[in-house]
């Protein structure tokens, strides 16, 4: 991008202007804002009284090629509260729709503003979005604001997911606004800066399809293919290939969720990113005792988005996505539906393939044998029967010796362990090598619900950031067992009544 400034003496030196106006190092290339304006509306972050930095993600900033140390805390607060917009940004709110708990609604960014797309150090284009930055054209009756607790929760969980190796949006900063927001009670207001491969969702395609403008639908599809699946751009069957690629990425993603016990909590179609990243950490949490029906979300009263329902819900969402592409897949509707149906029917086998492959690695298995699925399922059945902790059980199996405990004396477990040991004996490596590999995929540390709440309470109630910082340090190395992080490995005695909230 070329910077020019005309003044009394003509054009000022380009490099000096960049340094003066852009000390952080932003490199915006706002391609989404070049699409037809049906896809977005101009937006402006709300003015807030006294922004203050709560946390900055210097590690992520460095990966993005940003120099946050080059500006003061006050300047950083103004930047990430949307008070001092970075050079080259073009703030917009994106339009999208969504099936929320199965019901279709026209939506849009009601409390999020996309500043633009930044070109990272590696050349990747990423969205920079302010969440909680005030009302937009799509806010309806909402205030467009966010509370500190949910924004910090998203920061914690998204960074934990990244450290676990799961595709995810990330969090660059959280700032308070100095102004309250009102939910059930009065809460401190905050703004989160979210970084994503993009914010294009299944709901973005649903919105476009609902307008019944095939030209715009094709523009959106071509743009998304070019941005996220460029290898398909010149394919004569690129739209069906596009669908197949999205199905594959989602099958892999949901399998990864289940392999670490993650429960998204609100898998509406507007929360499924076409890029294949996990997005929107509202009422999410990690399962402790292995129970497929586990639900933590306060708004999921029927268990629609329970842990064990997530694979089927993903396919339901992908079906809604496929429906939007029907006009593009083939000239004749009947033919297009047949092609899309065939692709959607591949999802269950793809998901099971990814989950079984992940289960093999969690159990220290390199080679594939026909009995591996039953071996994994029988362990899960035992865990469900005794209420064993999901994360701790797999981590215990990774250690040289199991800890002493009544559960591991259970005859059903003893029988399973014997079968597992016999299966391991057929691998071309020692048990020590296998267990070392297992420790690289079975986390010792996850964001335990009680530890997350402990950190949030310390910040909100006592303005104490040390608990949050210690938790984030532990979550950054989830596969390490360190004495100083031992408390983060402990499961709560009981979290059966634990509930999470979306924060809107």
DSSP character string of 170-228: EEEEEEEEEEEEESSSEEEEEEEEEEES---BHHHHHHHHHTT-HHHHHHHHHHHHHHH
Q: Are residues 205 and 324 in contact, defined by beta-carbon separation less than 8 angstroms?
A: yes
- DSSP for 326-345 reads HHHH-SSHHHHHHHHHHHHT
* CA 313/CA 483 separation, integer angstroms: 39
The radius of gyration of the chain's CA atoms, rounded to the nearest angstrom, is 24
Residues 6+ apart with CB under 8 A from 411: none
Q: Please, is 196 exposed, middle or buried when counting C-beta atoms within 10 Å of its C-beta (0-12, 13-18, 19+)?
A: buried
Q: Are the CB atoms for 271 and 201 separated by under 8 Å? A: yes
Which residues, in sequence order, are CB contacts of 161 under 8 Å at separation 6+? 168, 262, 278
Distance (Å, whole) CA 373 – CA 46: 53
Helix (H, G, I), strand (E, B) or coil at 236: coil
Active site residue 29: no
* Spans of the chain, pLDDT less than 50: 1-20
Rounded CA gap, 385 and 364, in Å? Answer: 23
Q: Which of 270, 300, 389, 495 is catalytic?
A: 270
How far apart CA 491 and CA 391 sit, in angstroms, is 9
Owner of token pair 């994503």: 196
First vs last Cα of the chain: how many Å apart?
37
How far is 451 from 468, CA to CA, in rounded Å?
9
Q: Which of the 8 DSSP states describes residue 237?
A: T
Q: How far apart are CA 212 and CA 214, in angstroms?
A: 6
What is the Cα–Cα distance from 207 to 270, expressed in whole angstroms?
10
Which residue shows structure tokens 């900055």?
56
Give tens-digit pLDDT for 342-356.
999 999 999 999 999
Per-residue tokens: 140:
């309806």
> Would the CA dihedral through 202, 208, 209, 210 be positive or negative?
positive
pLDDT tens digits, residue range 196-246?
999 999 999 999 999 999 999 999 999 999 999 999 999 999 999 999 999
Spatial neighbors of 400 by CB under 8 A, at least 6 apart, are 432, 435
DSSP-based three-state secondary structure for 160: helix
* Both tokens assigned to 6: 């005309």
**What pLDDT shows up at residue 500?**
76
- In three state form, how does the secondary structure of 357-395 look? HHHHHHCCCCCCCCCHHHHHHHHHHHHHHHCCEHHHHHH
Identify the CA nearest to 284 among candidates 444, 474, 150.
Answer: 150
The answer to whether the CB of 270 falls within 8 A of the CB of 279 is no
């Amino acid at each position: 991008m070329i910077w020019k400034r005309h003044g009394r003496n003509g054009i000022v030196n380009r490099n000096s202007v960049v340094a003066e106006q852009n000390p952080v190092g932003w490199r915006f290339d706002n391609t989404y804002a070049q699409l037809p304006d049906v896809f977005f509306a101009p937006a402006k972050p709300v003015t807030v009284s006294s922004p203050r930095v709560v946390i900055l993600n210097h590690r992520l900033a460095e990966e993005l090629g940003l120099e946050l140390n080059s500006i003061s805390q006050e300047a950083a607060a103004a930047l990430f509260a949307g008070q001092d917009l970075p050079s080259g940004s073009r703030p917009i709110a994106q339009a999208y729709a969504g099936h929320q708990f199965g019901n279709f609604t026209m939506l849009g960014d009601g409390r999020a503003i996309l500043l633009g797309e930044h070109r990272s150090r590696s050349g990747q284009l990423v969205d920079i979005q302010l969440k909680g930055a005030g009302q937009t054209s799509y806010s309806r009756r909402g205030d467009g604001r966010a509370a500190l607790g949910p924004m910090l929760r998203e920061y914690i969980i998204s960074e934990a997911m990244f450290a676990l190796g799961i595709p995810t949006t990330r969090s660059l900063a959280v700032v308070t606004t100095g102004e309250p927001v009102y939910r059930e009670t009065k809460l401190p207001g905050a703004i989160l800066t979210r970084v994503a491969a993009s914010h294009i969702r299944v709901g973005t395609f649903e919105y476009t399809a609902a307008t019944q403008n095939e030209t715009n639908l094709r523009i959106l599809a071509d743009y998304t293919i070019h941005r996220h699946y460029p290898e398909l751009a010149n394919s004569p069957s690129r739209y069906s290939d596009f669908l197949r690629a999205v199905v594959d990425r989602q099958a892999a993603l949901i399998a990864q969720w289940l392999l670490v016990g993650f429960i998204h909590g609100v898998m509406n179609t507007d929360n499924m990113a076409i890029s294949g990243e996990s997005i929107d950490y509202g009422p999410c949490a990690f399962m402790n005792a292995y129970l497929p029906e586990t639900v933590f979300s306060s708004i999921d009263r029927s268990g629609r988005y329970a842990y064990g329902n997530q694979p089927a819900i993903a396919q339901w969402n992908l079906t809604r996505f496929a429906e939007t592409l029907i006009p593009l897949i083939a000239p004749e509707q009947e033919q297009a539906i047949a092609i899309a149906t065939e692709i959607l029917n591949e999802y269950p086998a793809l998901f099971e393939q990814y989950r079984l492959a992940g289960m093999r690695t969690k159990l220290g298995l390199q080679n594939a044998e026909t009995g591996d699925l039953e071996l994994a399922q029988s362990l899960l059945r035992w865990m469900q029967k005794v209420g064993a902790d999901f994360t701790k059980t797999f981590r215990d199996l990774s250690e040289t010796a199991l800890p002493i405990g009544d559960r591991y004396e259970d005859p059903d477990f003893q029988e399973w362990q014997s079968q597992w040991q016999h299966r391991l004996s057929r691998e071309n490596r020692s048990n020590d090598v296998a267990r070392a590999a297992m420790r690289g995929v079975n986390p010792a540390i996850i964001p335990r619900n009680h530890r997350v709440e402990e950190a949030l309470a310390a910040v909100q109630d006592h303005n104490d950031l040390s608990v949050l910082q210690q938790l984030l340090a532990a979550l950054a190395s989830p596969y390490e067992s360190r004495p100083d992080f031992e408390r983060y490995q402990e499961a709560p005695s009981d979290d059966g009544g634990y509930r999470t909230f979306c924060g809107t």
